[in-house]
Amino acid sequence: MLYIIYSEDVQNSLPLRKQSRPAHLQRVEALKTAGRLVLAGPCPAIDNEDPGEAGFTGSLIVAEFDSLAEAQLWADTDPYITAGVYAKVTVKPYKKVLP
């Protein structure tokens, strides 16, 4: 089943993101390689694809997991959690309808 992992950043998270980004991306790439990733990316803090020093307010991942518990465990062990990037993470089942 598909699951949404929506994460909200702490204030001024950009330095923390930069430090832990390689490890975070490595995990997301593993989902992609396994054919389980639908989409992933950050939410810019301003209305610009490259927000520069404004940074980001959070991230969204939609991926396939065997259960909600597995999706939650994956989210809980993200390097951004360890680095203190995220203030809140929500994991929910997702049903894709379109396209």
Structural contact between residues 10 and 84, judged by C-beta atoms closer than 8 angstroms = yes
pLDDT digits (tens, 9 = 90+) for 67-79: 999 999 999 999 9
pTM (predicted TM-score): 0.95
Superfamily covering domain 2-94: Dimeric alpha+beta barrel (3.30.70.1060)
Q: Could you report how far apart the first and last alpha carbons of the chain are, in Å? A: 17
Mean pLDDT calculated for residue range 12-34? 97
Confidence of residue 37 (pLDDT cuts 50, 70, 90): very high
Confidence of residue 28 (pLDDT cuts 50, 70, 90): very high
pLDDT digits (tens, 9 = 90+) for 39-91: 999 999 999 999 999 999 999 999 999 999 999 999 999 999 999 999 999 99
Domain map (residue ranges) of the chain:
2-94
